[in-house]
Amino acid sequence: MHTTLASAAELAARLDDPAWIIVDVRHDLAQPERWGEAQYRAAHLPGARFAHLDADLSAPKTGRNGRHPLPTPEHCVALFGRLGIEAGRQVVAYDQGSGMFASRLWWMLRWLGHDAVAVLDGGFAAWQRAGLPTTDVVPDPRPARFVPVRSAAAIAAATVDAAAIEAALAAGTLTLVDARAPERFRGEVEPLDPVAGHIPGSRNRPFAANVGADGIFKPAGVLRAEYAALLAGRPLDSVVHLCGSGVTACHNLLAMEIAGMSGTRLYPGSWSEWCADPARPVARGN
C-alpha cells in the first residue's frame, strides 16, 4: 500500500491494475474555472478521472470561510464514491508538478480514513519527462460505495478552527506552520487575499521547500531534519498547518508524513478565512 508517494515508474507498472484509481487534480489559481479541466481533456494519464479543486474539493464560499472551504464529510463520501473509490482501492492523485493540489485530495481521503492514497511524485511533469503514455480518452468510472472508517470524533479532531486558534494565541499552546511563500507570509505582497500578513506567532515553512527544482519530494531524512529545526522541540500534536486557503498546507502535512512525523492537524480556513474578520490580529514581517 502506498500512503504518501508513488513514483512515475511505480504507477506506470500499475496502469492496467483495476485496484488502482488515478485522479487528475491539475489546477491554476489564476485560471480556476477552466484550465485544469482543459488540460485534462487534452491529455491525461490513462484511466485518470478528473476532480476540480473548486467544484469538487471545496465547499461553497460565504465570504467569511476562506477561498477553498473544506467540504463536509458527506460531500466527500459522495465525491469519492462517484470517482469509484472504495475500500481496497489504491488511489494516486497528481497535478501538474509538485503536488500542491494533489496533496489536498490526499489529505481529504486520509481525513475520512482511506490510507491507501498517494501523490504522484513530480506530477504530470515527471510522467512526461519519463516518456510515459497519455491519452485524451475520458473514462466512465463505475460508481462505488465509499464508507468512512474514522469515527466522527476523529474526523473532527483532525482540524482546528479559527476560534480554537484565537483561544490558543495568548497561551501559545498551538504551533502554527504557514505554507505560503516568504514574501506573502511577511506581508510584503498579497496577490490573492484582501489583507497581507500572517497569524501572530506563526512559523513559515513554504511548501515549495519540500521539493527540489524538479518537483520531486526531498528524501525523508532531509525533510525530518528540516521540520525538526523548524519546530525546535515543539510537540507534533501541537502543530497546525495553514496557508492561504487550506490547500498547500496539505503539502506540508504530506511532507511531515513522509518524514515520519505524524499527528499534525489542518486549519482548513487558513489565512483567507482568518483575515476576513477585521477583529482578528495580524502580524507582518518575520
Which amino acids are annotated catalytic?
243
Query: What is the C-alpha to C-alpha distance for residues 134 and 41, in angstroms, rounded to an integer?
Result: 11
How far apart, in whole angstroms, are the C-alpha atoms of residue 207 and residue 11? 24
Q: Which of helix, strand or coil describes residue 103?
A: helix
CA of 146: how far to CAs of 77, 80, 86, in Å?
6, 6, 5
Give the distance from CA 142 to its chain's centroid. Answer: 25
The angle formed by the CA atoms of residues 216, 29 and 118, to the nearest 5 degrees, is 35
What contacts 161, CB < 8 A, 6 or more positions away? 267, 269
> Grid cell 510537540 — which residue?
235
> Is the distance from CB of 49 to CB of 22 less than 8 angstroms?
yes
Classify each residue of 166-198 as buried b or exposed e, where b means 16 or more C-beta atoms within 10 Å of its C-beta.
Answer: eebeeeeebbbbbbbbeebbbeeebeebeebbb
Cell of 46: 490513462
Cell numbers representing residue 237 in the block: 500534536
